[in-house]
Structure 1
């Protein structure tokens, strides 16, 4: 990857500030440089924090060689030790990065447990989508969480921070007066004899429910790449968030529920973002869960192409492709396009509320290859609720049908590309209609993945990439665990990341969190967070899933079904 000096030399847009009289914040991404710098949310927070005149924000990442940190971990920009900062702010997007939070604290010689830290130790805060799904597995390590969208909370947080020198008084003031602040130390958790939660009790003025905060309109342009570098997944691509949330309500997808209502960035704001992007890079990436639903997206893309840039898209919904979009993809030099059937059978797609048919997928594949885009990536899952082996076999059948459509097109193009099947284990997430269901047994997941691999092994030009079910087990544990799960994280850290050894030695039974179906009336570890979604709505969506019934997409302001649009 290169030395710190080489990485900084390759960057464009790095912010360097004088430290005098400023709040010093280390923005920490608990993974390697190339992973963190590929994360648009991380860029957005870096830009937002450095926009405050009285803040200096510098970055820190997981060291490439964990054994070579001398004298404590240091920031990228100024090489200051993390212990010199006032605040360490963790931006966390994936549960499997939780162990790296402990690695970063240990490398910085900062106590991992919040209860063991006192001034002059930095204040440890955390945000990011995983933390407002379920922060409890890392709650004992963090002083406070920012629950929600940073644009709506950072200014208020910093204003209160400046008023207090005493840590305990600061945390109590933040919890009592700032919506979206969760201070774990201000809540006691009681458990039934069977291990389930009996009570989640606030104290010292903390609210009973922590409200997830968000912005009503995306009428600003800060959510775009701050620093361009070739050392990322996107390699000097200028990323722009064009929308937030998703209208389709796929029942497995947390982002489709916790980012409600779906919001689209105004065209004028996007035009300004594209103008800035075109001045800084030859390639612009449009990021959203439902890019093709953005109003005037085709005209916007044409404007970008007229500026001489190429475009990429974070997602392509199979039933939203148009001739205009296909031409834009072709002009942008697309070699591989990705679509997500998510399930092989139409019954399973009704269960998950995907809203597309086999013919939508096959038609989309044909349109893409006819437009000269030779390669296709198909995203599918195994282990979904109510799934049978016939549903798994349907993944194989669908892939073969797509391959047949590719062969038909190759008679004209005299070339056939590759179909890459990306196969992932379904992991039930908080605040979705599937939050009560267990993870499927790892052995069963392995068998289903093996069936798809074996069935497609001899099909030319089709490759299967699959996740590792044992890591799906760990992710499910960290997604669905309560505060006691922190003990497992701490033990895994002591065991140098050896989860097999950790779980074997633990008195905590991880299957309690991973393989147990939750009763609908059980208090869940994340129930103290208020996303504005009625639990009754999630229950009804769960029951509809069991009946394989679809629900219509979200129409903002025109329905009151989920409770967000009150």
Structure 2
């Protein structure tokens, strides 16, 4: 029998109702004889609920008749966050606590959350009655070491290959030690103290995209569907393009099937993927979704793609579907710096893309820019402002021809060197210098008039870099921070005296970085060669799964991972 909420939101709370609406027709399974898993999200109730990854884990566990999964609203206040949405059971009553951490900042939330739920934050302090805490997600793929003291196990790759053997291992064993030994024997799972590093980030080779509804309960919600994982573009700063290799695309038929539930509900279909612009069957996908009369939405598109015929068709479909905001990832302003970071769009393509977006009727154009990129000089920053001014002219001119007044927004963000990328060893400027440069660039951009400028704060950007470059010693800071991030002033100096060196100096080539506990498959020598090509502003070889094995990420039959290419 399902328990009532005893702490936190009332059972009839609108927020709880919205969160439960994310699973129409869902059932509460009985515990008896089943492996029980609480799936943790740190996102607000009724909001994103951890993205596609959280719902994917929830669905896959519940697909096993001998297992059950319920969701934990980690973003809720108080101890109400420690009871599941489906039955109200406490987190500590489950065999497993599975959490997907998509952003580094969520590392700071985990120890405080465990403590709030009555689960010892440190894995070494847990007993037989405590759940095994297992984490995955993009933040773990980048570098799990800062939170390893809080974890019983971690899975840095895709969830689908590891969940079935994980559940089997728990079913077939008893006792914490025996279970951890069994988990350590599973490829793609790391168990601190039992697994020899590195742990391979294993890949899902099936043709079943994740799909979920966001903003549940809204009349005009969005039903999100994966189009693929990874990205073949090879942007040298991008973790998704390098840590998630080879890129894989789901087939048009599988995407259409996954979208069917959202279409039946009358929701817009959100196409999710870092490389939608390079989807190999885009014409067919649009045709099939058009037959279903699906309204579409997508967050960000490549300017060069929008200048192509498939790009024009997709843009038209998005506009007809009511898309209000389109994001163009420009990153920088000069042609030289675009070559350094391996962005293919030329200035004339960027301006044409902005004009086409305005002509389509989309009312808000957002530009994503970066500052502090490797080899960046003052003239590159001036070129960035000039490019934004030209984009604004092209955008607003096309809007005026339609009798509209479009809005232009800018997200200006500090460059953060990410693990497993060609730029992983680059340095960040000192905080005062970074703040000065960001503020100066914001003033130049605002001087263009009529532009909204936002972005990640320099302090948070540097803290991202610190987490990416830290080992288990960072856990002391996270424990003392009590869920606050950035940590209180002085705490880093007290507990991590060398933290500024970790961020502000290039990582030494002869010093193994902490993130090599994860093996993404890409050879370190290949990343170093890409870094050298960047310094010469030269292009790198294209990523061609199933054809090329140069970087080391592709297995022998990489074509099996790309049903969307058939």
216, 234, 254: which one pairs with 1:229?
A: 216
Verify the 8 A CA contact 1:278 1:307 in the aligned structure 2: yes
Q: Does 1:181 align with 2:189?
A: yes
Verify the 8 A CA contact 1:49 1:55 in the aligned structure 2: yes
Q: Does 1:219 align with 2:207?
A: yes
DSSP 3-state at the match of 2:406: coil
How many residues in Structure 1 have an aligned counterpart in Structure 2?
A: 539
Give the CA deviation at 1:415.
2.2
Distance in 1 between the 2:541 and 2:60 partners? Answer: 36
Distance in 1 between the 2:254 and 2:85 partners? Answer: 31
279, 282, 293: which one pairs with 2:278?
A: 293
Distance in 2 between the 1:257 and 1:546 partners? Answer: 18
Match of 2:457 in 1: 468
Verify the 8 A CA contact 2:220 2:267 in the aligned structure 1: no
DSSP 3-state at the match of 2:106: helix
Task: Give the 3 Å change call, closer, same or farther, for CA 346–474 of structure 1 in structure 2.
Answer: same
Distance in 1 between the 2:552 and 2:454 partners? Answer: 38
Distance in 2 between the 1:482 and 1:344 partners? Answer: 35
265, 273, 289: which one pairs with 1:280?
A: 265
Distance in 2 between the 1:136 and 1:328 partners? Answer: 44
Task: Give the 3 Å change call, closer, same or farther, for CA 24–362 of structure 1 in structure 2.
Answer: same
362, 366, 370: which one pairs with 1:377?
A: 366
Verify the 8 A CA contact 2:46 2:215 in the aligned structure 1: no
DSSP 3-state at the match of 1:376: strand
Give the CA deviation at 1:506.
2.6
Match of 2:4 in 1: none
Give the CA deviation at 1:529.
2.1
Match of 1:52 in 2: 64
Verify the 8 A CA contact 1:395 1:452 in the aligned structure 2: no
Verify the 8 A CA contact 1:288 1:315 in the aligned structure 2: no
Match of 1:254 in 2: 239
Distance in 2 between the 1:359 and 1:304 partners? Answer: 31
Task: Give the 3 Å change call, closer, same or farther, for CA 501–235 of structure 1 in structure 2.
Answer: farther
Match of 1:189 in 2: none
Query: Which deviations, in whole Å up to 9, do the C-alpha atoms of 1:285-321 show, x marking residues without a partner?
Result: 0000011221332332243244333210132111112
115, 120, 125: which one pairs with 2:124?
A: 115
Verify the 8 A CA contact 2:111 2:483 in the aligned structure 1: no
Task: Give the 3 Å change call, closer, same or farther, for CA 278–411 of structure 1 in structure 2.
Answer: closer
Distance in 1 between the 2:483 and 2:493 partners? Answer: 14
Give the CA deviation at 1:504.
3.8
Query: Which deviations, in whole Å up to 9, do the C-alpha atoms of 1:20-49 show, x marking residues without a partner?
Result: 221111101134335542611111111111
Distance in 2 between the 1:495 and 1:398 partners? Answer: 38
Match of 1:526 in 2: 515
Task: Give the 3 Å change call, closer, same or farther, for CA 541–35 of structure 1 in structure 2.
Answer: farther
Match of 1:97 in 2: 106
Q: Which runs of 5+ in 1 are unaligned?
A: 187-205
Alignment of 1:166-565 (within 5 A): 166-175=175-184, 177-186=185-194, 206-216=195-205, 218-221=206-209, 223-225=210-212, 229-230=216-217, 236-321=221-306, 322-493=311-482, 498-565=487-554
Task: Give the 3 Å change call, closer, same or farther, for CA 151–410 of structure 1 in structure 2.
Answer: closer
134, 138, 153: which one pairs with 1:129?
A: 138
Distance in 2 between the 1:357 and 1:441 partners? Answer: 32
Task: Give the 3 Å change call, closer, same or farther, for CA 524–35 of structure 1 in structure 2.
Answer: farther
Match of 2:52 in 1: 40
Q: Does 1:69 align with 2:79?
A: yes
DSSP 3-state at the match of 2:82: coil
Match of 1:194 in 2: none
Give the CA deviation at 1:248.
0.6
DSSP 3-state at the match of 1:53: coil
Match of 1:193 in 2: none
Distance in 1 between the 2:268 and 2:500 partners? Answer: 46
Verify the 8 A CA contact 1:90 1:127 in the aligned structure 2: yes
Match of 2:563 in 1: none
Task: Give the 3 Å change call, closer, same or farther, for CA 513–497 of structure 1 in structure 2.
Answer: closer
Give the CA deviation at 1:208.
4.3
Give the CA deviation at 1:230.
4.0
Task: Give the 3 Å change call, closer, same or farther, for CA 513–431 of structure 1 in structure 2.
Answer: same
120, 144, 153: which one pairs with 2:162?
A: 153
User: Over aligned residue pairs, what C-alpha RMSD do you find?
Assistant: 2.2
Give the CA deviation at 1:393.
1.9
TM-score (norm 2): 0.90
Verify the 8 A CA contact 1:335 1:375 in the aligned structure 2: yes
Match of 1:17 in 2: 29
